Amino acid sequence: MMHNFDKQVDLIRSSDLFDDDWYRRKYKEVVRSGMSPAEHYVFLGASLGYSPSASFDAADYVRRNPDALALGTNPLLHFEARSGSLPRSKSSAGSTKPVLNGSAETSTKSAREAAVRGEWEKAKAAWEHVLNLRVEPYLGLSKAYAEMGDWVRAETAIRDGLSGAPNSAALLFEYCRLAYVRRHWVEAVARWERATDAGGERPRGLQASICEALIHVGDVNGARALAEEGVAHSPRSGLLWRALALAADAQGDWAAASQYWVQGAELRQGPDQIRFFVSAAKSLIKGGDSVGAERLCTQQLAVHPDNVDLLLLNAEIALEQGAWPIVLERWKRVEAQEPSRCGQMPTNWIYRLGLNKTIEETQAMGPSQSQGIAYVTLAALFSAVNHVKAASFARKARRFYPLQAVERICQLLIQNGRQSASIWWLRRLIDKYDSPTSYTLLIEALIESSRFDEAEGVVGEYVERFGKDSLWLRAQTEIAHRRNDYAVLADLLSASLKVRLPRAKGVSSLRWLYRIIQVHDRPETFLPPEINDLVVRVSAIYDGRVVARSLANLLDARAGEVTHSEYLELIETGGDLDLGTRAEIARFFLQRRSWEPLEKLMAGATFENFDPTKPSAAWTFARFKADFLMGRGRKHEAEGVIVEFLNLMKDSGNDQYVLSILDSIMLRLPTCEDIVVRLEAAARRLEHSGVARALADWRTLYCLEFDNSMPPAVEGGRCFIVGNAPSLATLPLHLLEGETLFCVNRGLRSMELGLPCPDYLVIGDALVYKSHWQELYADTRLVKQAFIGSNCLWRGKVIDDAIPYGSSGLKLSLAPFAHGRWTLNRGETVVIVAAQIAHLLGYKEIYIIGVDLDYDGPTTHFYGGGAKERERLANFRPGGTGAEAVNVAFANLQEAIHASGARLFNASPSGKLESLPRVNFEELLGERSYEATSQHGSEEMG
């Protein structure tokens, strides 16, 4: 049991042998726990054998002092009490309580002797101590699993302990803490209630964390009440004052929140204290008191003139007052103190001031560093909505911010598939500035281009310059995978577990792997089994929560089953789940292909418990639900979800977030007028006149049902979909005269091989569209109808009589999803899209030719394409061909269209497309071949 928790925390804090900073650095989980170092040490650290500072070796002290566990299993308190530095506790100064030694045997003997004497208080305390010793192994084992990134087994260890000691306060509160650390808010609250019902003394640091969990689940009043109760009990707990301030913030009680932050600040020291004061000022800003915020900021700057958090606050206050030139002047001080922030001003500041006002005032300035700051920030802002303008602003910033401006241009080049150009620029940036960000971008571009030897050379330079960190791990693991060198991959993962690497800024070590296996039909078989566990453990350490959990669920069968059971229970009990939790559950069931529980989750209200400060959680759940509905052929319901989301964003003041996901919305449902109208309105509210005009033009051109422009639907009949593989050049394409033909991307070049003029053209590759627009525009004039993906049209040049199609976020490699008009499912090749269009037009026999899935020859397409195209395909389809995923996608499409009586066939003479029944091209067209031969013979005789 824990005795006088808050008193012990105060005693630890006052000890010269407890070092807050050292303890936080040494034991990384302290930050995640939500507790202060002293609270963590009293609650958990001491029982796990942690040392309180570099000057006090706890393990050595316990070895030399067998009774060192006497004071609540805390060696430092034992030392301080014995040395006289702290007052002795009653238990060690002749009180009625027994002196509890470290061994279970000694305490058991003491308990029995006390019982014989009728000293029940002593007996009770001794038995409690024995029980505590029995739960310590479970706490330690859980801690070990958590540090290795195995959260499922960490929780299992605690559950195992609770099976034998169901009322152990230490276990119950640790069980609660694990849920909090994993951001399982609903579960954290439920476990807290269970722990407090069991009668354990509340750890005040954890109580503060549960207040935060209550805010996340929408119980703001409950959070404030719990925080007020905690502050009343422990008025010197800064964490509880923080929790109270957060609750007041969530209620919109800005004045009270500011006051609570200040009171908490008075109990903190160093950086923590400054952060509390900054939060107090921000509460005042939210309440409209920018004058009060500036007064508080000025007071703190007088004491800490070089503190970056205060300098950032000072600039933000000027922003609130509408003084853009002053904002820029104050931002210079931020950059002077922290050069890594050069050119990194938050883009939302521009929206808060007004986009037009910002641009006008920036352009009115003379050439200066302030103008450079403004231009580089505008470039970052426009990167999400207008690449041309973003590049224009970046070029204007180059005089004063050459590094940041060119890095921004390189990011735009990479986004547009122009890796070679970005590599050229980045090499020159590195030669001149030696920037870690430039190294990161260059390594990513080289890997995406499959230039592995060059990438390894750059990684070596980076390690020599900055040391080995998670960027090294990220690069080397993907290179090993792409070379199919799994022995090296295993060695790399194992080494990163043995020696913890520093985290490189903005680098996710194994996200590349998640992108590949999330669309794999059996992800647990993608890697050798012995590597799966290593991946899960490494990702838990070096990746963000979403990637780490997703990889665990996909690769670790046990973790997946445990999580599956937990989530099913949450859905069945109908708990009041916050949006973030529902989005996490939806992602999990999508990854596990668990469609029934997913449908049940999606059946409820979409945006219940929406938190306006977390629009990303709302969008994550909205897009999962829209994708799911589109995959069931319920397009209009999907459109309703997105319309509801956009209305919610407008009402909550989140238009900026809407523009940041504009592409994602337009790629899904590009022809829904209700959606496009709302997007246009959001752009106008943010003064993005160019984006608003583009959306207005789009609405005029494309937001209709295309029935009038569509050719009549056929009833039965056959068609041929012509891919662009090299094998196409070996076929007698002239035999297709009179057949209904679909070509894809640059496929009309096959007319030079004898292909009759096709009826339909389907374009889905955005880079091909951008690079060959004039050619493709001319091709659309030759066919009856062109279908072009909105991923091409939205960012590219307009072809007004084309039909844009949208794509759900689902891929046919996952399941036999339904398709609708004109919202289709992706499948790693545009031929999959063309097959869906052919089915929607009514064709029953759909023959595929020119899909080889084999790029080992000298060319990748019948019209050419060499090393550069192979590099691009290797990035687009990991492994170079994506043969397995494409085969699964075709098989699922076959299943999806089966009920309508339609079928797919592979009429190519060779290649790796094996999931469709193969037919002989010339035999299929045998009658036509005979007629053509006879006609040719008659001509010769004539």
- Per-residue pLDDT reduced to its tens digit, 693-725: 999 999 998 886 554 455 667 778 899 999 999
Q: How far apart are CA 618 and CA 641, in angstroms?
A: 11
The whole-number pLDDT of residue 675 equals 96
Q: How far is CA 941 from the centre of its chain?
A: 71
Q: Minimum mean pLDDT among 210-224, 577-591, 642-656, 748-762: which range?
A: 577-591
Among 62-71, 94-103, 183-192, the range of highest mean pLDDT = 183-192
- Measuring CA to CA, which residue among 220, 275, 277, 279 is closest to residue 252? 220
Assess contact for 320 and 304: CB atoms under 8 A: no
Q: How far apart are CA 324 and CA 356, in angstroms?
A: 12
The whole-number pLDDT of residue 63 equals 64
- 869 HSE (CA, 13 A, CB side): 18
- Measuring CA to CA, which residue among 407, 412, 450 is closest to residue 430? 407
pLDDT band at residue 68, thresholds of 50, 70 and 90? low
Instruction: Tell me the percentage of the chain whose pLDDT exceeds 70.
Output: 87
Q: Three-class SS string for 837-891? A: HHHHCCCCEEEEECCCCCCCCCCCECCECCHHHHHHHHHHCCCCCCHHHHHHHHH
Among 38-52, 77-91, 375-389, 834-848, the range of highest mean pLDDT = 834-848
Cross-strand partners of 720: 741, 847
Q: Around Cβ 659, how many Cβ atoms within 10 Å?
A: 22
The whole-number pLDDT of residue 940 equals 36
Is pLDDT at 293 greater than 60 in this prediction? yes
At 809-842, the pLDDT tens digits run: 888 888 899 998 888 998 888 999 999 999 999 9
What angle in degrees, to the nearest 10, is found between the helix axes of 5-14 and 75-83?
70
The answer for residues whose C-beta is within 8 angstroms of residue 84's C-beta and 6 or more apart is: none
Structure tokens at 73: 């299993």
- 681 HSE (CA, 13 A, CB side): 14
Q: How far is CA 805 from the centre of its chain?
A: 27
The whole-number pLDDT of residue 832 equals 96
At 84-115, the pLDDT tens digits run: 444 333 333 333 333 334 455 666 677 777 77
Is pLDDT at 392 greater than 70 in this prediction? yes
Assess contact for 313 and 305: CB atoms under 8 A: no
Is pLDDT at 573 greater than 80 in this prediction? no
Assess contact for 158 and 175: CB atoms under 8 A: yes
Is pLDDT at 453 greater than 50 in this prediction? yes
What angle in degrees, to the nearest 10, is found between the helix axes of 470-482 and 436-448?
10
The secondary structure of residue 918, as a DSSP letter, is: B
Among 91-105, 205-219, 304-318, 542-556, the range of highest mean pLDDT = 304-318
The secondary structure of residue 341, as a DSSP letter, is: G
148-157: b (≥16 Cβ within 10 Å) or e: bbbbbbbbbb
Instruction: Tell me the percentage of the chain whose pLDDT exceeds 90.
Output: 47
The answer for residues whose C-beta is within 8 angstroms of residue 882's C-beta and 6 or more apart is: 828, 829, 853, 876
Mean pLDDT of 325-350: 92
The whole-number pLDDT of residue 710 equals 58
The whole-number pLDDT of residue 709 equals 52
Q: How far apart are CA 667 and CA 122, in angstroms?
A: 71
Mean pLDDT of 258-269: 92
pLDDT band at residue 929, thresholds of 50, 70 and 90? very low
The whole-number pLDDT of residue 358 equals 94
Is pLDDT at 849 greater than 60 in this prediction? yes
Is pLDDT at 129 greater than 70 in this prediction? no
DSSP string, 470-500: HHHHHHHHHHHHHTT-HHHHHHHHHHHHHSP
At 730-764, the pLDDT tens digits run: 899 999 999 999 999 999 999 999 999 999 999 99
Would you give the end-to-end CA distance of the chain in angstroms? 108
pLDDT band at residue 37, thresholds of 50, 70 and 90? confident
The whole-number pLDDT of residue 102 equals 45
Residue 719: which H helix or E strand, with range? strand 718-722
Q: What is the mean pLDDT of the chain?
A: 84
The secondary structure of residue 802, as a DSSP letter, is: S
Assess contact for 824 and 805: CB atoms under 8 A: yes
- Measuring CA to CA, which residue among 5, 3, 1, 2 is closest to residue 230? 5
The secondary structure of residue 503, as a DSSP letter, is: P
pLDDT band at residue 78, thresholds of 50, 70 and 90? confident
The answer for residues whose C-beta is within 8 angstroms of residue 456's C-beta and 6 or more apart is: 475, 476, 479
State how far the alpha carbon of 319 is from the alpha carbons of 279, 742, 876, in Å: 16, 56, 42
- Measuring CA to CA, which residue among 158, 163, 214, 212 is closest to residue 186? 214
The residue assigned the tokens 């306006």 is 612
Residue 110: which H helix or E strand, with range? helix 104-117
Q: How far apart are CA 818 and CA 935, in angstroms?
A: 44
Q: Around Cβ 809, how many Cβ atoms within 10 Å?
A: 17
Assess contact for 447 and 475: CB atoms under 8 A: yes
Q: Minimum mean pLDDT among 48-52, 101-105, 914-918: which range?
A: 101-105
Is pLDDT at 82 greater than 90 in this prediction? no
Type of residue numbered 350:
I
Structure tokens at 241: 């004052």
Q: How far apart are CA 93 and CA 100, in angstroms?
A: 13
Q: Around Cβ 402, how many Cβ atoms within 10 Å?
A: 14
Asked if the peptide bond before residue 254 counts as cis, ω within 30 degrees of 0, the response is no
Q: Minimum mean pLDDT among 31-45, 397-411, 436-450, 669-683: which range?
A: 31-45
Assess contact for 623 and 591: CB atoms under 8 A: no
The whole-number pLDDT of residue 903 equals 96
The whole-number pLDDT of residue 30 equals 78
- Secondary structure percentages of the chain, helix, strand, coil, to 5: 65, 5, 30
Residue 442: which H helix or E strand, with range? helix 436-448
Is pLDDT at 576 greater than 50 in this prediction? yes
Alpha helices in 338-384 (DSSP H): 348-353, 355-364, 369-382
- Measuring CA to CA, which residue among 833, 822, 834, 764 is closest to residue 792? 764
